[in-house]
Amino acid sequence: MTVATIPAPAFAIERFRLANGLRVVLSPDPGAPVVGVAVVYDVGMRSEPEGRTGFAHLFEHMMFQGSHNVGKAEHMRHVQSAGGTFNGSTHIDYTDYFNLLPSNGLELALFLEADRMRGPAITEENLANQVSVVKEEIRVNVLNRPYGGFPWIKLPPVMFDTFANSHDGYGSFVDLDAATVDDARSFFDAYYPASNAVLSVAGDFDLEQARDLVERHFGNVEARPAPVHPSFEEPDLTDERRLAYTDERATLPAVAAAWRVPDPVTELDAFLPYVVLGELLTDGDASRLVERLVHADRSATAVAAHCTFMSEPFASRGPTVMLVQAFLPPGTSVDGVLGTVDEELARVADGVAEEELDRVKARVAAQLLRGDDSVMGRSRRLATAEIFHGDAAMSTRFAGLLGEVTAESVAQAAAALTPRRRAVLEVVPGGAQ
């Protein structure tokens, strides 16, 4: 047996914690005259309370509506005027805010992020405005788009039973309209303390100066206890679950199948073979399902497989899934496609050649390493590694760990993906004419 040797990125990492609980990661790299500043909060769609679906996403919008010393839209104006870019995003298990600026913009980014960590401008006007913005986003991205919410919104309620794992994290209009200023303030108080966040800085900066600037801007942010995250666990499936629904805007049938996989944090070694398996099945023309479904059988026009609903295996915690999804030509049998998937999984379970495995592991590791090329991507990855794995330096080890995945473990992972353990979602096209 051979094991692919994949080098680890060699950039400096310093970690420390402020008195208020804020975890700080600094990664200086003078290679380019830019700096990336990310703040990741350990709260995502899975954490939002019942009756408040969409609140994590809504609050991400609220964080751009001004704060103690920054007016509405001034974050955007300050960053863009300094030659930088910025954004925020909501995920199943975390929310992040990130800025990319020329090197001399480090203090500006730290000031802006520290100011809204002290408290965004939560007013009736801002809340009503952002509820409208989020509802319009849902209309554009889900309600009025073909395959909107397929499969990341539509499949979890088939797969899971608990509210945390199964609800629509984009949010229902009923829950969004019912949101109050007090609800928003309570959400901030519960989930946005410094002790529930990681500040990550990567790029061209002086380490000692950065330490001083972080302490100056974040050191006096109020110390509040971090929330205690409840258990999200629930039993695995023992019988297949299926749901079909008609999408009036879809023109082709589609199908998605998902299986529970080991926890990406507490069972990382058992989880990694599924990451490799997803690559083996659908990444590139030589992959198993692309070659079989798209090129040979022509029973799919496109197929993809990956771990976690948002395809971020190292920024998630369990319960989560291995997902296979395909778009099909008109009249294609969904059961026929699922049968082919089962056949290919059985072939992998019978054994994988070392040459194929090494090629696949090199591809997935290269994708990870490319993500570290940009200081913005690096600062975000360092922060999520600190959030989920308790050590930002773990972000440099993922590619190497994938290189150590064995053919036997990939075969065992494939053998575990049985029809009885899966949830299946079928899109029936209603817009073919």
Tens-binned pLDDT, residue by residue, of the chain (433 aa): 444 566 666 789 999 999 999 999 999 998 889 999 999 999 999 999 899 999 999 999 999 999 999 999 899 999 999 999 999 999 999 999 999 999 999 999 999 999 999 999 999 999 999 999 999 999 999 999 999 999 999 999 999 999 999 999 999 999 999 999 999 999 999 999 999 999 999 999 999 999 999 999 999 999 999 999 888 999 999 999 999 999 999 999 999 999 999 999 999 999 999 999 999 999 888 899 999 999 999 999 999 999 999 999 999 998 999 999 999 999 999 999 999 999 999 999 999 999 999 999 988 888 888 877 789 999 999 999 999 999 999 999 999 999 999 999 999 999 999 999 999 999 999 975 5
Cβ–Cβ < 8 Å for 44, 94: yes
| CA 393/CA 162 separation, integer angstroms | 33
**Whats the size of the chain, residue-wise?**
433
In this prediction the pTM is 0.95
| CA 287/CA 281 separation, integer angstroms | 5
| CA 390/CA 384 separation, integer angstroms | 9
Q: How far is residue 312 from each of residues 135, 255, 306, 321, 365, measured CA to CA in Å?
A: 25, 21, 9, 11, 13
User: What's the order of all strands across the beta sheet hosting 85-90?
Assistant: 14-17, 23-28, 197-203, 34-41, 95-102, 85-90
| CA 377/CA 148 separation, integer angstroms | 27
Q: How far is residue 386 from each of residues 54, 208, 331, 372, 395, measured CA to CA in Å?
A: 25, 21, 47, 15, 8
